[in-house]
Amino acid sequence: MVEFPINNNYRIILLTLELMSLAFFMEIAFFFFRKFYKNKKNEYSKNIELAWAIMFISYAIAWIFYIIGDYYGYRQINLLLGYLSLSVGGMIFTYQIESNKLLNTKYGFTIFAISVFFILINSYIFFPSWIQIIASMAALPGLGIIFIYFYVLIRKIWNTYKISSIGLISGIASWIIGYIGTTDAAVSLFGGLYIRVIADILTLIGLAILGISLNIIPSVDEFLWRDKIKYIILTTKWGILLYNENFKEKRELNEFLLSGALAAVEEFIKDTLDRDSGLKVVSKGDEYYLIEQGDYVVGVFIVKEELEILKTYLRRIIREFESFFKKQLKKWTGNIEIFAPTKDLIRNIVQ
């Protein structure tokens, strides 16, 4: 049986590890807060970033109360405050995620989180001996959403971000196992505070891996890139139109948009006569022109947002177009009908 406040030989090492965990929670929370404040483009991804910031800050606040209660006294009230912090953070997190329609969960987790919050308060008043059992439920809504969120996320990024996906899985697993290992139930089950030391180390490892992985993977906007494409245009290096398509309406562009896009291509070509400037981005109103030059053609994406993944796909379209039509492009005589298969070629890339 462990006595609190902890004053035995494990005190220093446990306190050190748990203060380090607190620092990690705070760092990841501030990382998401920074992303939230810097994101000027998209309310959708801002809400997701805010949700993660709140989740980690609620864990940090809970951790502070746990540390005070376990090492300095007034444990019951500090545990309650920690559980309430997790519960409130879980409510806000689940609501933010579910309200963005990223997951088709219809506010089920939010309703559950609110229910647990009120049960937690009532249990402290009427059934104080049940509080840890009830409190263990406080993390369930958030954990459920996290599992579903990362399942959806990893499915979308697996082919491009395999290492980061593995990092997310291992980081979340280590964090959750570590958190469970710090509970009184785990310490009692394994018969000593040594299990809490191991759990704290797992928590630190999980948070470190998670932090690195979250910093590498793209923002939520990047996963919705197909919805951002409005038009695509392919021309020769001399500005002769080879192919154009309205992605939304599955037809060619109207003359006004086409002339504007071709003007942007001509400007781009002038800029690259004497130097290789790489992909160029031109902002026009609420649209962005992504312009890239290949060996034979110039490709243009007209998009709603400037996303890195769209630049990658534009380069890929140019590369595969030139590979597919290499012979025709070398000896092209002006017949654009030979490029009719371009539509299927592009569909195979962006679907």
Q: Are residues 103 and 21 in the same domain?
A: yes
- What's phi and psi for 251, nearest 5 deg? -150, 180
Are 196 and 277 in the same domain? no
pLDDT at 251: 52
Same structural domain for residues 183 and 302? no
pTM for the full predicted model = 0.71
Classify residue 5: in a domain, yes or no.
Answer: no
State how far the Cα of 90 lies from the Cα of 231, in Å rounded to an integer: 40
For residue 227, what pLDDT is reported?
A: 77
In this structure, are 118 and 255 located in the same domain?
no
Domain count, the chain: 2
Length of the chain in terms of residues written = 351
132, pLDDT greater than 50? yes
Q: What is the pLDDT of residue 197?
A: 95
Q: Is residue 4 part of a domain?
A: no
Q: What is the spatial distance between Cα 304 and Cα 311, in angstroms, rounded to a whole number?
A: 13
Percentage of the chain exceeding pLDDT 90: 23
How would you class 132 by CB atoms within 10 Å of its CB: exposed for 0-12, middle for 13-18, buried for 19 or more? middle
How far apart, in Å, are the Cα atoms of 159 and each of 93, 153, 163, 351? 28, 11, 10, 14
What CATH number has the domain bearing residue 325? 3.40.1840.10
Is residue 173 domain-shared with residue 317, that is, in the same domain? no
Domain boundary among 197, 223, 249: 223
Long-range pairs of 32-35 with CB within 8 A, sequence gap ≥ 24:
32/56, 33/57, 35/219
pLDDT at 268: 63
pLDDT of residue 36 exceeding 80: yes
Q: Quote the domain boundaries for residue 324.
A: 227-350
Residue 141 lies in a domain: yes
Tell me: do 94 and 128 sit in the same domain: yes
Same-domain check for residues 197 and 269: no
Task: Tell me, yes or no, whether 201 and 239 share the same domain.
Answer: no
Identify whether 5 is preceded by a cis peptide bond (ω within 30 of 0).
yes
Judge if 214 and 80 occupy the same domain.
Answer: yes
In a domain, 6, yes or no: no
Q: What's the pLDDT score for residue 247?
A: 77
- Among 223, 249, 265, the domain-final residue is 223
Domain end (from 223, 256, 284): 223
pLDDT digits (tens, 9 = 90+) for 167-225: 888 998 998 899 889 888 888 888 889 999 999 999 999 999 988 887 777 766 666 67
Domain annotation covers residue 239: yes
**Are 203 and 282 in the same domain?**
no
Q: What is the pLDDT of residue 273?
A: 44
Residue 2 lies in a domain: no
Whether 3 maps to a domain, the answer reads: no
| pLDDT 10s digits, 304-349 | 888 888 888 899 999 999 999 998 898 888 888 899 899 889 888 8
Q: Which of 138-152, 218-232, 263-277, 325-339 has the lowest mean pLDDT?
A: 263-277
Q: Same structural domain for residues 53 and 158?
A: yes
Q: How far apart are CA 39 and CA 31, in angstroms?
A: 12
Say which range, 5-9, 58-62, 92-96, 118-122, has the weakest mean pLDDT. 118-122
The answer to the question of residue 329 being in a domain is yes
Q: Are residues 237 and 297 in the same domain?
A: yes
Q: Which amino acid is located at 178 in the chain?
A: G
- pLDDT, tens only, 247-260: 766 555 555 566 66
The pLDDT value given to residue 266? 67
